[in-house]
Structure 1
Amino acid sequence: MTRAEEFEELRSLLFAIAYRILGSVSEAEDAVQETWLRYQASPTRPTSTKAFLSAVVTRISIDVLRSARVRREEYVGHWLPEPLLDDPYEDPARSAELADSVSMAALLLLERLSPLERAVFVLREVFGFGFPEVASAVGRSEAACRQLAVRARRHMDAGRPRFEADRREREELAERFFDAFRDGDVDRLRELLAADVQLVGDGGGRAPQLARAVVGAAKVARLLAAIVPPMARIHVTFEPREINGQPGAIFRDRDDKVLHTWTLDILDGRIQTIHSLINPDKLGHLGPVADAWAVAREAAQARRLTD
């Protein structure tokens, strides 16, 4: 088997590792490409190609994350991970860990970890690598990696909800939510939202965004219902679909360009958080991106006509 063939067999795993460490599709793709270049330039063939490439992509991702964290501290507004429609890597033996680790909630929890803790957690807890492989990948002793894993697991467990919704329950609730949203029905929307629900937006200063999170079922329900008439007038549409393993939707303008995405955190039979991502820099991998400012101006004009 050629190096290129070996690499292609492992590409989906390498992307899956990099995305969970970085929370960015574009940065993960760049890390995978850099891994290929380094593998191609390596004078020797490793004993285990999987271990070697996983270590390389992990080290690259750690370096990228360290610089990215500085940028994220200066980020305008609320930072959200780039939406992932389909996780290319599948492992039936670890399907639960893989699905959980790619959710918006889990990725935001991972942001609280140091780059080394995050890498160790991803390799060990998500992908099941042994500590010798983890230690080699991050350049630390096995004992140090065990300590990093314990700290990371403690942070992650402390931030997780106590009761997870099962998949069917989430899908049914999301379907009812999007039906109520399509109808602009405030009362039905409010019934499906947790009392302290949050609507969180990420425009990154590159698109219209909420000045702060909107909190509370009544406020969020009224806001959502209010945007439906002008949205319909300017032919903005939405397509419910799974994003980051959760119920969500992709919104498009009249030219079918991607405007923004929603993902829903569902717990205890209610929607706890709506993550709205409209930063165009994070949507390009989904297709041609709409001019959100132009859409907002058109929506404002349509709202005045509606009123």
Structure 2
Amino acid sequence: AHTRRETYVGPWLPEPVVTDFGPAAPDTAERALLADSVSLAVLVVLESLSPLERAVFVLREAFGFPYGEIATALDRSEAAVRQLAGRARRHVDEGRPRYDVDPTERRDLTERFLAAASGGDLGELLALLAPDVRLVGDSGGKSKAPLRVIDTAAKVGRFLNAVAREADFLYEHRLVEVNGAPALVSFIDGHVDTVLQIEVRDGRVQTVHIIRNPDKFRGLKGI
């Protein structure tokens, strides 16, 4: 979803996209760069930029166009484009998580988190959650999901514990690399129903993203 409507129901998250390319996957350095550029956290920040800031940022940072060419394409002065680029970069840097997580550590924590949630172990689940954890659910009003952000470990833990008991009987689950990080993809009758992904800080779950808007699953076909 590259456009965000003012009438969107509930919280908004970017479309999940599979980034596990198997044998054709890029090398370690390229994977790290890809994971950062397509992570949900960075994509959320990009969506908060103005259309001009976003255009300049993508053309400059992703495609490496010279400022002069960007200025011509956007019918702006080069000085104005440089200002837009600087402003966009500051916003992205401020919004990007200020912590690096080893991919193996993140996958291990994801698996422990999912096991605790699906097993109904509220104590273990709470131990994995940061005290100020946030859960953001995106359904666009087209399926069941929280219409407001849930915060604090106690509230997030109770919510996940409740929904996981029901989901375990309904869904087929698969751990897939989505937007550069492991995510739980849940299926009903072979169709993607839910994508759940966590952000990690200091060995604990800092943010839980849950996407349930069926319009956003185009990037998950064929998994």
TM range (shorter): 0.7 to 0.9
TM-aligned CA distance change 1:95 to 1:226, over 3 Å: closer
Indicate the percent of aligned positions where both proteins have the same amino acid. 50
Could you say which residue in structure 1 is the equivalent of 2:39?
A: 103
Determine the C-alpha separation between the residues in 2 that align with 1:168 and 1:123.
Answer: 32
Could you say which residue in structure 1 is the equivalent of 2:97?
A: 161
SS in 2 for 1:221: helix
Residues 178 and 240 in structure 1, CA contact (< 8 A), matched pair in contact too: no
Q: For residues 266-285 of structure 1, what are the structure 2 equivalents within 5 Å?
A: 266-285=200-219
**Distance apart, 1:86 and its partner CA:** 2.5
**Deviations 1:143-183 (Å, cap 9, x if unpaired)?**
22211111111111222332222222212211211222232
SS in 2 for 1:197: strand
Could you say which residue in structure 2 is the equivalent of 1:52?
A: none
Instruction: Give yes or no for the alignment of 1:246 onto 2:181.
Output: yes
Q: Which has the larger radius of gyration?
A: 1
SS in 1 for 2:94: helix
Determine the C-alpha separation between the residues in 2 that align with 1:232 and 1:170.
Answer: 22
Q: For residues 199-214 of structure 1, what are the structure 2 equivalents within 5 Å?
A: 199-214=135-150
SS in 2 for 1:169: helix
Q: For residues 139-218 of structure 1, what are the structure 2 equivalents within 5 Å?
A: 139-218=75-154
2:44 is matched by which residue type in structure 1? Answer: L
Q: Which runs of 4+ in 1 moved over 6 A?
A: 87-93
Could you say which residue in structure 2 is the equivalent of 1:299?
A: none
Between 1 and 2, higher relative CO (CA 8 Å, sep ≥ 6) is seen in 2
Determine the C-alpha separation between the residues in 2 that align with 1:239 and 1:248.
Answer: 8
Q: For residues 107-118 of structure 1, what are the structure 2 equivalents within 5 Å?
A: 107-118=43-54
Could you say which residue in structure 2 is the equivalent of 1:83?
A: 16
Higher strand residue share: 2
Residues 97 and 125 in structure 1, CA contact (< 8 A), matched pair in contact too: no
Residues 84 and 243 in structure 1, CA contact (< 8 A), matched pair in contact too: yes
Determine the C-alpha separation between the residues in 2 that align with 1:91 and 1:125.
Answer: 19
- Give aligned pairs, total: 219
Mark the runs of 5 or more structure 1 residues left unpaired by the alignment.
1-22, 25-67, 289-307
Residues 265 and 274 in structure 1, CA contact (< 8 A), matched pair in contact too: yes
**Distance apart, 1:232 and its partner CA:** 2.9
TM-score under structure 2 length normalisation: 0.87
**Distance apart, 1:287 and its partner CA:** 4.1
Residues 175 and 185 in structure 2, CA contact (< 8 A), matched pair in contact too: yes
**Deviations 1:22-41 (Å, cap 9, x if unpaired)?**
x54xxxxxxxxxxxxxxxxx
**Deviations 1:5-30 (Å, cap 9, x if unpaired)?**
xxxxxxxxxxxxxxxxxx54xxxxxx
Instruction: Give yes or no for the alignment of 1:258 onto 2:192.
Output: yes
2:154 is matched by which residue type in structure 1? Answer: A
Residues 41 and 97 in structure 2, CA contact (< 8 A), matched pair in contact too: no
Determine the C-alpha separation between the residues in 2 that align with 1:211 and 1:236.
Answer: 22
Determine the C-alpha separation between the residues in 2 that align with 1:201 and 1:187.
Answer: 23
**Distance apart, 1:229 and its partner CA:** 2.7
Instruction: Give yes or no for the alignment of 1:229 onto 2:162.
Output: no
Determine the C-alpha separation between the residues in 2 that align with 1:284 and 1:244.
Answer: 13
Residues 130 and 205 in structure 2, CA contact (< 8 A), matched pair in contact too: yes
Higher helix residue share: 1
